[in-house]
């Protein structure tokens, strides 16, 4: 059977390994698995969300409110914007798909960093768009500017902070780069980890209201999967001018968000005390990984997300590290598929980090060098 030729050049997205894999393959009890491979919140979600889920389950035989009025109203209140500035997606990656489909067609150009969230490239290639990448792994604003001038792409992706590496552009650098783009270019600011960046460094903080007031050609993406701890609910959002939201909404399927997800997100966004507590705890624990890397002469990328990347260079194999840890009941992320010999570790709770750092010390102290 023949399929669209655009699919020939697409590599499947490699999701983080599930707990069930270790249970099946190694016989490890679920409660003994430490999953630090998908940048989830190790503290779960706000306790207040439980009641919302239980209540929502009673309405499961009905379709959800497709206007998503309550959640949009809560998001609008948080960011001091209007409901017509908001679109809700099944994860922020669905909004990414909307952006690509609304702006791209065969041979349209899309600009992104060399190492960044893989779905930007996957969605672009699905419609036959041409992907333009920087030569540097990180977001280099000078290179972005040069490539933009050369290729005049229809869409530019800026992941701030960047996943999977963790580096983060300053807000001023982001705004300066956007100011150089045409009003016909859609600039996507992926703020999936902004809660962590804002808390760690105010120079990295991007406020959607200010962004939308200054620029008409941007969309800011947020998610409930990270700081809010609702990864399993698959819910994210895009914030932009009404004209952009109106166009993207034509691509949104009806009832794309389930009742439980809507109710859980609505309750979660109201508990900012829980969110800030989780963020603070994660950033505090990250310092332990930085200290460990320095003590063991392991290169790491300073991170403004809820994870840290160890660059292993020619000392160790990222695959060997990850496979060894899997057998010990620890899931982290191998970045080999991104073309770099590195591992990404989600920052866990103190007890989880105690075990992971202990195992990493054992690995790096043994005869595992290349």
Segment 120-124 mean pLDDT: 96
Segment 118-127 mean pLDDT: 95
Q: What is the pLDDT of residue 314?
A: 84
Q: What is the DSSP string of 149-185?
A: HHH--SEEEEESS-TTT-----HHHHHHHHHTS-TTS
Higher local confidence (pLDDT), 56 or 312: 312
Q: How many domains does the chain have?
A: 2
Residue 265 and residue 318 share a domain? no
pLDDT at 116 over 60: yes
Confirm whether 370 is domain-assigned: no
Whole-angstrom distance, CA of residue 199 vs CA of residue 92: 21
User: What residue numbers bound the domain in which 235 lies?
Assistant: 49-271
Residue 356 and residue 267 share a domain? no
Segment 89-95 mean pLDDT: 97
Q: What is the pLDDT of residue 220?
A: 98
Whole-angstrom distance, CA of residue 139 vs CA of residue 148: 13
* Cis-peptide into 318, omega within 30 deg: no
Residue 224 and residue 91 share a domain? yes
Q: What is the pLDDT of residue 369?
A: 60
Q: What is the pLDDT of residue 16?
A: 65
Q: CB of 219 within 8 A of CB of 244?
A: yes
Confirm whether 284 is domain-assigned: yes
User: What percent of the chain has pLDDT above 90?
Assistant: 86
Confirm whether 222 is domain-assigned: yes
CATH number at residue 307: 3.90.1150.10
Whole-angstrom distance, CA of residue 140 vs CA of residue 310: 20
Q: CB of 312 within 8 A of CB of 342?
A: yes
Residue 65 exposure: Cα atoms within 13 Å on the Cβ side? 10
Q: What is the pLDDT of residue 8?
A: 75
Whole-angstrom distance, CA of residue 260 vs CA of residue 54: 8
Q: What are the structure tokens assigned to 118, written together?
A: 């893989």
Whole-angstrom distance, CA of residue 321 vs CA of residue 342: 10
Confirm whether 140 is domain-assigned: yes
How sure is the predictor about 27, in pLDDT bands with cuts at 50, 70 and 90?
Answer: confident
Residue 78 and residue 30 share a domain? no
Contacts of 206 (CB under 8 A, 6+ apart): 160, 171, 174, 189, 191, 194, 220
Whole-angstrom distance, CA of residue 236 vs CA of residue 221: 7
Residue 300 and residue 287 share a domain? yes
Q: What is the pLDDT of residue 11?
A: 76
Task: Tell me 2's DSSP state.
Answer: -
In angstroms and rounded to an integer, the radius of gyration of the C-alpha atoms of the chain is 21
Residue 56 and residue 37 share a domain? no
Q: What is the pLDDT of residue 13?
A: 66
Confirm whether 295 is domain-assigned: yes
Segment 189-209 mean pLDDT: 98
Whole-angstrom distance, CA of residue 226 vs CA of residue 200: 16
Q: What is the pLDDT of residue 47?
A: 94
Contacts of 242 (CB under 8 A, 6+ apart): 82, 84, 85
CATH number at residue 111: 3.40.640.10
Residue 301 and residue 235 share a domain? no
Confirm whether 155 is domain-assigned: yes
Confirm whether 118 is domain-assigned: yes
Q: What is the pLDDT of residue 28?
A: 78
Phi, psi of 30 (to 5 degrees): -55, -40
- Tokens 């922020």 belong to which residue? 92
Output the average pLDDT for the chain.
94
Among 223, 242, 271, give the residue marking a domain's end. 271
Q: What is the pLDDT of residue 321?
A: 95
Segment 172-183 mean pLDDT: 97
pLDDT at 3 over 90: no
Q: What is the pLDDT of residue 171?
A: 98
In this predicted model, what pLDDT tens digit does every residue of 279-338 receive, in sequence order? 999 999 999 999 999 999 999 999 999 999 999 988 899 999 999 999 999 999 999 989
In this predicted model, what pLDDT tens digit does every residue of 127-146 receive, in sequence order? 999 999 999 999 999 999 99
Q: What is the pLDDT of residue 368?
A: 63
Whole-angstrom distance, CA of residue 315 vs CA of residue 327: 21
Task: Tell me 366's DSSP state.
Answer: S
Q: Which residues pair with 186 in a beta bridge?
A: 155
Q: CB of 70 within 8 A of CB of 262?
A: yes
In this predicted model, what pLDDT tens digit does every residue of 65-83 receive, in sequence order? 999 999 999 999 999 999 9
Residue 171 and residue 134 share a domain? yes
Q: What is the pLDDT of residue 367?
A: 58
Whole-angstrom distance, CA of residue 206 vs CA of residue 178: 13
Residue of 275, 362, 286 lying closest to 324 (CA atoms): 362
Helices 242-249 and 92-103, packing angle to 10 deg: 90
99 exposure class (CB count in 10 Å sphere: 0-12, 13-18, 19+)? buried
Q: What is the pLDDT of residue 313?
A: 85
Residue 244 and residue 284 share a domain? no
Q: CB of 125 within 8 A of CB of 6?
A: yes
Among 244, 271, 298, give the residue marking a domain's end. 271
Whole-angstrom distance, CA of residue 121 vs CA of residue 127: 10
Residue 25 and residue 122 share a domain? no
Among 236, 271, 306, give the residue marking a domain's end. 271
Instruction: Name the range with the highest mean pLDDT among 10-14, 61-65, 366-370.
Output: 61-65
Residue 214 and residue 136 share a domain? yes
Segment 257-267 mean pLDDT: 96
- The model's pTM is 0.94
Residue 157 and residue 267 share a domain? yes
């Amino acid at each position: 059977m023949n399929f669209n030729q655009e699919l020939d050049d697409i590599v499947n997205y490699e999701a983080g390994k599930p707990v069930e894999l270790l249970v099946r393959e190694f016989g490890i009890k679920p409660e003994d698995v430490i999953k630090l491979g998908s940048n989830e919140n190790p503290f779960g979600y706000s306790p207040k969300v439980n009641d919302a889920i239980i209540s929502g389950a009673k309405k499961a035989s009905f379709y959800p409110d497709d206007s998503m009025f309550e959640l949009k109203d809560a998001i609008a209140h948080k960011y001091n914007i209007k409901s017509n500035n908001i679109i809700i997606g099944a994860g922020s990656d669905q909004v990414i798909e909307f952006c690509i489909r609304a702006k791209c067609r065969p041979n349209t150009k899309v600009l992104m960093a060399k190492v960044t969230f893989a779905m930007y490239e996957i969605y672009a290639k699905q419609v036959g768009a041409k992907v333009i990448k920087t030569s540097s792994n990180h977001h280099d604003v000078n290179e972005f500017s040069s490539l933009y001038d050369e290729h005049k792409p229809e869409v530019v992706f800026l992941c701030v902070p960047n996943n999977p590496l963790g580096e983060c552009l300053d807000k001023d650098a982001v705004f300066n780069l956007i100011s150089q783009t045409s009003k016909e270019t859609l600039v996507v600011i992926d703020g999936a980890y902004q809660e962590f960046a804002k808390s760690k460094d105010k120079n990295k903080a991007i406020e959607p209201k200010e962004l939308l007031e200054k620029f008409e050609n941007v969309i800011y993406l947020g998610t409930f999967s990270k700081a809010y701890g609702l990864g399993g609910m698959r819910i994210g959002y895009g914030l932009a001018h009404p004209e952009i939201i109106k166009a993207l909404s034509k691509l949104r399927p009806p009832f794309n968000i389930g009742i439980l997800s809507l109710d859980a997100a609505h309750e979660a966004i109201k508990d900012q005390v829980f969110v800030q507590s989780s963020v603070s705890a994660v950033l505090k624990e990250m310092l332990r990984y930085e200290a460990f890397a320095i003590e063991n002469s392991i290169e790491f990328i300073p991170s403004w997300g809820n994870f840290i990347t160890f660059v292993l260079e020619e000392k160790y194999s990222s695959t060997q590290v990850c496979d060894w840890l899997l057998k010990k009941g620890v899931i982290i992320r191998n970045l080999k598929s991104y073309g770099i010999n590195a591992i990404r570790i989600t920052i866990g709770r103190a007890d989880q980090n105690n075990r992971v750092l202990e195992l990493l010390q054992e690995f790096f102290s043994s005869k595992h060098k290349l």
